[in-house]
Amino acid sequence: MPKFLLPLAFLALCACEEKSNTSNYDDLALVYAELRVAMQEYGETTNGKVVRFQILEKYGLSADSFEIRTEELKKDPEKWLIFQKNVIDILDSIARPDTIVKSDTILKKDTIAK
């Protein structure tokens, strides 16, 4: 590979990595929101712990891996703020039955083609 192409390849790789992380954080927001709902619903009961374990398992996470990923996010205040906004949007869509969450957009159910 010619030497002048190396910086371009590096930039392309970084761009792909950032996009991948953003997508992973969107998925993590879904997990976080589900865990918050489970905590609200069941508290620290045995059933609550089982439900939270099942949620993590559904997304292929362990409690440790989930904690590591959220701690990574907390290190970057801007990413953490965006992440928390996504979680709030997801929770708000649950509270409003006339809406659903699709990616980073909340849509009214009556505007979706059937």
- How many whole angstroms separate alpha carbon 68 and alpha carbon 58? 18
Given this model, what pLDDT does residue 93 score?
Answer: 84
Q: How many domains does the chain have?
A: 1
Percent with pLDDT over 70 in the chain: 61
- Distance (Å, whole) CA 87 – CA 91: 6
pLDDT tens figures, 52-104? 999 999 999 999 999 999 999 999 999 999 999 999 999 988 776 555 544 44
Q: Note whether residue 29 is domain-resident.
A: yes
- Report if pTM > 0.85: no
- Domain presence at residue 4: no
Side-chain half-sphere of 114: how many Cα atoms within 13 Å?
2
Give the structural domain span for 63: 16-111
